[in-house]
Amino acid sequence: MLTDKRLIRYIIKKGSNQAADKLIRRYYDDLYFYLYRQVGNGNDALDLTQEVFIAALNGLGSYDDRKSSFRTWLFRIGTYKVIDARRKVKMTWLELQDEESIEEKDLDERLYQKELLVTINQYVGSFRPEIQEIFRLRVYGELSFPEIASLLAQKEERIKAQYYRLIKKIREEFREHE
């Protein structure tokens, strides 16, 4: 199996579509699910996944494997694409359709959890983009603190402190929801 570094070199030096395809296939599912957990909509996550890969392939020349893994770099691009998408969001109206009967109690719980997640995401969105990025990389990207520190070129202790301060604020803000 070819390493990311070798695939990237083939893409940059030879314009290899085959290497690009392998690299995309290697990370497609992880990136899609990372984005889906943030936007909560499959079509939006698909669009963002495509945007991230286009941006990554166009920016391969600026990728530095000494700073972070390719996966981590992709997630960082994804984080910025999500932030950009949220800035552009417009209200859309949905039509009511007949659906299968769902147990009302289960539906209420699922709606409550989804509503709480949306509210928490909006709350996190009120902080500086650097804080949002740490939160999203940790929670949605499931990156370790050392990976995030490496990616953001910051000390791990600083990343942890910012993350745990944010978590404390989230708990204080949403204590009534528990």
Render pLDDT for 10-62 as a digit per residue (tens, 0 to 9): 999 998 899 999 999 999 999 999 898 888 888 999 999 999 999 999 999 89
Render pLDDT for 134-174 as a digit per residue (tens, 0 to 9): 998 888 888 889 988 888 888 999 999 999 999 898 888 88
User: What's the CA angle centered on 118, arms 112 and 121, to 5 degrees?
Assistant: 140
DSSP conformational letter for 177: G
Domain stop point among 41, 61, 89? 89
Domain count, the chain: 2
- Are residues 6 and 51 located together in one domain of the fold? yes
Q: Which residues span the domain enclosing 113?
A: 101-178
Q: Which two tokens stand for residue 124?
A: 């996190």
Q: Are 147 and 176 in contact (CB under 8 A)?
A: no
Amino acid at 173: E
Q: Are 159 and 152 in contact (CB under 8 A)?
A: yes
Q: Is the pTM of the predicted complex or chain greater than 0.75?
A: no
Long-range contacts at 158-164 (CB < 8 A, ≥ 24 apart): 159/134, 162/130, 162/131, 162/134, 163/134, 163/135, 163/138
- Are residues 145 and 72 located together in one domain of the fold? no
- Are residues 127 and 68 located together in one domain of the fold? no
Report yes or no on 153 lying in a domain.
yes
Cα dist. 126→35, 101, 141 in Å?
19, 37, 20
- Are residues 131 and 176 located together in one domain of the fold? yes
Q: Which residue has the higher pLDDT, 9 or 118?
A: 9
- Are residues 84 and 105 located together in one domain of the fold? no
Using the predicted structure, report yes or no on whether residue 5 has a pLDDT greater than 70: yes
Torsion, CA 64, CA 70, CA 73, CA 79, rounded to 10? 170
- Are residues 4 and 77 located together in one domain of the fold? yes
- Are residues 127 and 60 located together in one domain of the fold? no
Residue 116, domain CATH:
1.10.10.10
Report yes or no on 96 lying in a domain.
no
Domain stop point among 89, 114, 139? 89
- Are residues 85 and 1 located together in one domain of the fold? yes
Domain stop point among 60, 89, 118? 89
Q: pLDDT-derived band of residue 74, with 50, 70 and 90 as boundaries?
A: very high
Residue with tokens 């993350």: 163
